[in-house]
Chains A and B, each alone.
Chain A
Amino acid sequence: MASSTSPTLQVCRDCGGGAPVDAHFCPQCTKILSLGRHGDYFAFLGVPRKLQLDPGDLERRFRELSRQFHPDYFYNATAAERRASLERSSYLNDAYRALKNPVTRLEYLLRVEGVPVSGSAETAEREGFNRATPPPALLEQVFALNEELDEIREARSSGAPAAAWKARLDAARLPIEAKRDTHQAQVDELSARWDGLVDDGGSDAAKRDVLQALRDCVLERNYINNLLSGIERELNTV
């Protein structure tokens, strides 16, 4: 039985016929379906819920679907069909944008799998850095970096030559940058494991473990990115 969060059927508002939730056009009357019940981004684009997707394949699907329901082709259609085309195209564009970038793809997967990252890349950018508390694994390095940043700011305000404090700032971010690289390797490894579990129909518990590990990675990485962009800002405000 379909749960309320993952419906399997939708109803064509034009002819009243039923259609699978991932269909874009009504199997009965062939009209474009309004965007009522719909699948997630993966289902909408017709790809498995995996993390390592072929960018070329994704792009082909995006182009093909754009050709099917872009508003350009519904200019002479009824108002309901035009509306449906607009909504479906918007959703397609959102879906493609989210899935084509590996970072946003991972965040989206975590969200639809029920382990959302509260401080997503976008919201973190909005909120500015230093907002979130540092993840435990990073405490030590963040502490050291903040201390260094304070000293550099002090040196700046007491009129130290720009070259001197810039060099210090550059040096300060090296360990953090190294950390980011090891993180990427970790994410790649976990992603491959997740995709394997999807293919083999792995147990829910195993999936949950991988997702949690991925979530921690993302949190740490977002934190690191915010730190680095903070340093960048510091460098640019001369």
Chain B
Amino acid sequence: MSHVVGIDLGTTNSLVAYVKDGVPEVIRDEQGDALLPSVVSVGDAGTIHVGREAERRLLTEAQRTAYSVKRFMGRGREDVQHEAEHFPFRVSGEAGGVVRIGLGEKEYTPPEISAFVLRELKRRAEAFFAQQGEFDNEVDRAVITVPAYFNDAQRTATRDAGRIAGLEVLRIINEPTAASLAYGLDKKHSGLIAVYDLGGGTFDISILRVEDGVFQVLSTNGDTHLGGDDIDVLLIDTVLAEDDAPVASGRTPEQLQAIRKAVIQAKWDLSDREETTLNGKRFTRARFEQLIAPVVERTLGPVRQALADAALEPSQIDEVVLVGGSTRIPMVRRKVAELFGKTPHSELNPDEVVALGAAVQAGILVTGNRDMLLLDVTPLSLGIETMGGVVSKIIMRNSTIPASGSEMFTTAVDNQTAVDIHVLQGERELVADNRSLARFKLRGIPPLPAGMARVQVQFQIDANGILSVTARELRTDVEQTIEVKPSYGLTDEEVERMLLDSFEHAEADFEARMLIEARNEADSVIQATEKSLRSPDFAMIEKDELAPGERQKIESVMAGLRMVLNSTDRETIQKWTQALNDATRHLAEVMMNRSVKAALSGKNVDSFRT
């Protein structure tokens, strides 16, 4: 049977995990690496590079390389304008529409870029299952995590990314909740848990009550634009300001990326050292903490709000769990410990714990195992626009999901057959201060005098935290048709088209992979041949056993293969590789016979001894 996995689609790194005999495990690549950098780079020929290779290309092809794309998921161009300048890639898109990211000649939506990362994880998992000797190694279903504070548009964008990557997204779950699932496995926890999740680009705090295996989220809060990236930007700005050389505008994107790499390294260094060097200068932890204090401080407001929403005091929390790479920073740990008055947990790797939890949830979904149950909440209130640009709330924030709410609408003029509805998410009073989710037209209302129609609109937030809307005219009991136009999302048709595009890409990617494999194969045949020709007893072999001109033949074929090795013509490379194999077959046989003879004679010596 095909496989199901849990995926942590992170701002900086992404991971894939699965459940083996009830225990979640992270799947590593051939090098033993669990983390796949969430970086995508487009080569000149349109080849897509993902992960470490893409990350390397930041230093050489910065403008063709995208990172931290999670910050753009489900956002409009206006939302990201102010931070777009920090990135080497082009950020564009129509006003009021989805962000587009330009890499080389092409433009991609954030879900498409994320889909490249997801596809790579899918491939990694499939290679792993194949290696495990699984008959069916296909991975076609996944649970994908998102920050708890992601709104509907950001969740939908993540689900779209999964679909574009050819995955059925079984469930979107919240990262802190996933982490708590992973933590709740070994010990039989019960009590109140706070999960503080500071990642590369997002911050979440969730307060949970755990009892009898039910993980019930009481409240959640956060900031989807707060994380390690912000620390990096601060440090980059500091380096640029302290530098005597011309300002940022005078540098190439690649130089800026080199600085970014250096500040990230310095940040890591300071997690377990008191000082390091940055840009050739001494850089102390004290100075670092002074710089990042405002960023750390920004996380504490949401923590207090989440506690207030759960009607709890910090001292009532039994356990505090740290998640996300940025919680390695000592100052973050210290501030969290101070606020709660207890030392936070960090037994599990903060990078891996979310993927592990996602795998656990995937296991629950496919097996129906009822030992554990996750009850999450919607992070933001859902409302609709009413007269005067005021929001009327229908589902309050921190409501356990699935949740539903309904609102009655009527008509303003006689024989009106359609009503416009604007759905928003957020806590503010005014429409303009909230997130626009969708606008839709309620059609097919029977013609009646003004105010007579009674249309009940039902809002349903499912277990993914994603909204759907249905409507019914109560007098006639007619179901209304609703055309939802997502404000910052993709339509189903767009997702469908991207999925098809991605298949074409998959072919191009497949071709690229085959080419690399052909080159590697050619390379290893050349290596082996050279080794044989240079072996100490080759002269004797040539004299005793090779035909005249045989060595020259081998050498000329090898030279031919070398010449085609760097072409992009896979078939020619393979043809020449085959030719070299043929040319060396006799030599190989001769050498094999000689080594067998040597082994036999060796054995004789051995048998004498015993």
Residues of A within 8 A of B (CB): 63, 66-67, 70-73, 75-76, 86-87, 89-91, 93-94, 96-97, 122, 126
CA A166 – CA B462 in complex, angstroms?
Answer: 45
B172 to chain A, nearest CB (A): 13
CA A140 – CA B22 in complex, angstroms?
Answer: 67
Which 9 pairs between the two chains have the least Cβ-Cβ distance?
A90-B404, A93-B400, A90-B402, A75-B365, A71-B463, A63-B214, A89-B402, A73-B368, A86-B402
CA A134 – CA B544 in complex, angstroms?
Answer: 116
A97 and B399 contacting across the interface, CB-CB below 8 Å: yes
Q: Given the known A-B contacts A63-B212, A90-B403, A97-B399, are A72 and B365 also in contact in the complex, defined by CB atoms under 8 Å?
A: yes
Residue contacts A-B, CB under 8 angstroms, 7 given = A63-B212, A67-B214, A72-B364, A86-B402, A89-B463, A93-B400, A94-B404
A140 to chain B, nearest CB (A): 31
Interface residues of B in 339-370 (CB under 8 A from A): 361, 364-366, 368, 370
A93 CB contacts on chain B under 8 angstroms? 399-403
Q: Is the interface of A mostly helix, strand, loop or mixed?
A: helix
B402 and A66 contacting across the interface, CB-CB below 8 Å: no
Contact of B170 among A70, A75, A97, A122 (CB under 8 A): A75
A73 and B370 contacting across the interface, CB-CB below 8 Å: yes
Q: Indicate the member of A87, A94, A122 with the most B CB atoms within 10 Å.
A: A94
A168 to chain B, nearest CB (A): 27
Q: Which residue of A lies closest to B393 (CB)?
A: A126
Q: Indicate the member of B366, B373, B400 with the most A CB atoms within 10 Å.
A: B400
B373 CB contacts on chain A under 8 angstroms? 63, 66-67, 70, 72
Contact of A70 among B211, B375, B396, B399 (CB under 8 A): B375
Q: Is B392 interfacial (CB 8 A cutoff)?
A: yes
A12 to chain B, nearest CB (A): 21
Q: Is B374 interfacial (CB 8 A cutoff)?
A: yes
A125 to chain B, nearest CB (A): 8
B214 CB contacts on chain A under 8 angstroms? 63, 66-67
Residues of B within 8 A of A (CB): 170-171, 211-212, 214, 216, 361, 364-366, 368, 370, 373-375, 392-393, 396, 399-404, 460, 462-463
CA A67 – CA B214 in complex, angstroms?
Answer: 8
CA A70 – CA B463 in complex, angstroms?
Answer: 9
Q: Given the known A-B contacts A67-B373, A93-B401, are A86 and B364 also in contact in the complex, defined by CB atoms under 8 Å?
A: no
Q: Could you count the A-B residue pairs with CB atoms below 8 Å apart for me: how many are there?
A: 58
B366 and A75 contacting across the interface, CB-CB below 8 Å: yes
B401 CB contacts on chain A under 8 angstroms? 93
A91 CB contacts on chain B under 8 angstroms? 404
Q: Which residue of A lies closest to B464 (CB)?
A: A71
B460 CB contacts on chain A under 8 angstroms? 86, 90
Q: Given the known A-B contacts A70-B373, A90-B404, A93-B401, are A63 and B368 also in contact in the complex, defined by CB atoms under 8 Å?
A: no
Q: Which residue of B lies closest to A76 (CB)?
A: B368
Q: Which residue of A lies closest to B398 (CB)?
A: A97
B400 CB contacts on chain A under 8 angstroms? 93, 96-97
Q: Indicate the member of A87, A90, A91, A93 with the most B CB atoms within 10 Å.
A: A90
B388 to chain A, nearest CB (A): 12
B365 CB contacts on chain A under 8 angstroms? 72, 75
Contact of A66 among B364, B366, B375, B404 (CB under 8 A): B375
Q: Given the known A-B contacts A67-B370, A72-B365, A75-B170, are A94 and B375 also in contact in the complex, defined by CB atoms under 8 Å?
A: no
Q: Which residue of A lies closest to B171 (CB)?
A: A72
CA A52 – CA B361 in complex, angstroms?
Answer: 37
B361 CB contacts on chain A under 8 angstroms? 72
A63 CB contacts on chain B under 8 angstroms? 211-212, 214, 216, 373
A72 and B374 contacting across the interface, CB-CB below 8 Å: yes
A139 to chain B, nearest CB (A): 29
Q: Which residue of B lies closest to A91 (CB)?
A: B404
Q: Which residue of A lies closest to B371 (CB)?
A: A67
CA A75 – CA B464 in complex, angstroms?
Answer: 13
A234 to chain B, nearest CB (A): 16
B390 to chain A, nearest CB (A): 8
